[in-house]
Amino acid sequence: MQKGFTLWFTGLSGAGKSTLAEHVAAELRRRGLNVEILDGDEVRTNLSKGLGFSKEDRDTNIKRIGYVCKLLTRNGVVAISAAISPYREVRDHNRAEIGQFIEVYVTCSIEALTRRDVKGLYKKALAGEVKNFTGISDPYEPPLNPEITVDSERQSEAESLRAILEYLERHGWIPHDPSRAEAAQRRV
């Protein structure tokens, strides 16, 4: 039976959490692992409908995601959470509850996020038109000691994906990819 664990992506809106989560999930499935993604937006629609954006509601939402990740993890599934999860205390709570927890911090500057924001939400938030916007009018507490940090402003998606997979392989969370090792051998 495969070893379950939770891969917890955190970072500001638009940093690339969901995109990277999808790439990681596809690669892990290719390697034969059972994977479930809990995307913050989807969870709000299906599991946390009716919650607002107060600190209490955000904490409740993230704890709900953590609870589902805990159930999946203990049943041998790789649970991938891609939610802003702005408060360190709640992420640490989930880490303690789940146990097999790997935090991935997807960092990106507000300037870069504003430039790439097709909906213009950052510009509106910076102008005071959007209230309770994480990283602008609401706090975001970056992790102090994440297992993995990727910088979506300076790294390509492929570089970030490689960094995540290499960490997971190196620490025994996922099997090494023999096709990658064979390709490296052919280059030597």
Query: What are the residue numbers of the active site?
Result: 85
Range list of β-strands (E), 121-165: 148-151
- CB neighbours (10 Å) of residue 184? 9
Q: DSSP readout, 84-99?
A: ----HHHHHHHHHHHS
Write phi, then psi, for 26 (nearest 5 degrees).
-60, -45
Residue with tokens 């892990």: 28
Are the beta carbons of 66 and 97 closer than 8 angstroms? yes
Token couple for 85: 């999860």
